[in-house]
Amino acid sequence: AKDAGGNQSVFFDARMGQWVAERFSLEQDLRRGIEAGELRLYLQPQVDAHGRMVSAEALVRWQHPQRGLMGPVQFIGLAEESGLIEPLGQWVLEQACAWLGRLRTLGRPLPISVNISPHQFHQADFSQRLQQVLQRHEASGDDLMLEFTEGVVLRQVEQVIERMGFLSGLGVRFSIDDFGTGYSSLSYLKTLPIHELKIDRSFVQDAPHNPGDAALVAAMLSVASLMQLRVVAEGVETEEQAAVFRRHPGALMQGYLFGRPEPAEALLARWLSAGEA
């Protein structure tokens, strides 16, 4: 038994070592990859009850030279822990604002939502840098929505209020991502300038069949409407799920039923040429 235990722990240590090495090399790759222009901006449409695109969410991808196209779940955590989320997040904001500027110049503005990670938002100069990015690209803050999870806005509340106030002055709006998953009080909805709630996919998926999820979705829709917040249902994949939200005036939807995330150039080329997506 003693032997077996020993072997087990050697095995475990070897695997740990491998994992640490793997992670370290991925971090080096990401550092280099950001510099080398390997990140890609993808966009997913957000549509109204008639299926018309009214805005889009920016979702980052990484075109790794050996591993291929990687989704954010494979590298965002690593980026946050290593500090690389700052250059990564800055790149995404830069790209999104460059498109906002272009779209406005071409007379076809389209609001874009950008995910902001905790470390990124709590950077000392976040607001000033964002203001500079908007100016550099002649983009209007009115076209930019920032998505945060509840965890971000519930820490350092004074600073969050101050920052959101400053950015609101530029027209920038704020969305609560994965709404309903945070187990937190909703009082921040009174104190912060929030404009939108995104109902998490986990509720959307089962709303047509599970009475519990249906009740929670109804509660979230009613909070949104009472507080005059825009609401987006995430991860709508079926007509049945869409039907739940089409009944609610103003509710927007995002999900594979209406369009998968795709390279920004492709989606926006259609938006610019056909007048729709």
In the complex, least distance from residue 38 CB atom to ligand C2E, rounded to whole angstroms: 14
User: Interacting stretch for Ca ion, rule CB under 5 A, among 33-41, 71-79, 110-118, 184-192?
Assistant: 110-118
Choice between 178 and 196, CB closer to ligand C2E: 178
| Binding of Ca ion by 178 (CB under 5 A) | yes
Whole-angstrom distance, CA of residue 147 vs CA of residue 267: 20
Instruction: Write down the least CB distance from residue 61 to ligand C2E, Å.
Output: 7
The residues, any chain, with a CB within 8 Å of residue 216's CB and separated by 6 or more, are 180, 203
Residue 92 site contact among Ca ion, ligand C2E, none (CB < 5 to 8 Å, cut-off depends on kind)? ligand C2E
Nearer to Ca ion, 126 or 203 (CB): 203
**Closest distance to Ca ion from the beta carbon of 247 (Å):** 22
Stretch of 22-30, 85-93, 200-208, 262-270 contacting Ca ion, by CB under 5 A:
200-208
Judged by the rule CB under 6 A, the positions of this chain that interact with ligand C2E are 44, 58-60, 71-73, 76, 89, 92, 115, 117, 177-178, 234-237, 254-256, 261
Min separation Cβ 114 and Ca ion, Å: 9
- CB nearer ligand C2E, residue 142 or residue 237: 237
Q: Which does 220 bind (CB under 5 to 8 A by kind): ligand C2E, Ca ion, none?
A: none
Pairing of strands 173-179, 196-199: parallel
Task: Give 110 or 114: the residue with its C-beta nearer to ligand C2E.
Answer: 114
Which amino acid, residue 41?
A: L
Least Å from the CB of residue 214 to ligand C2E? 18
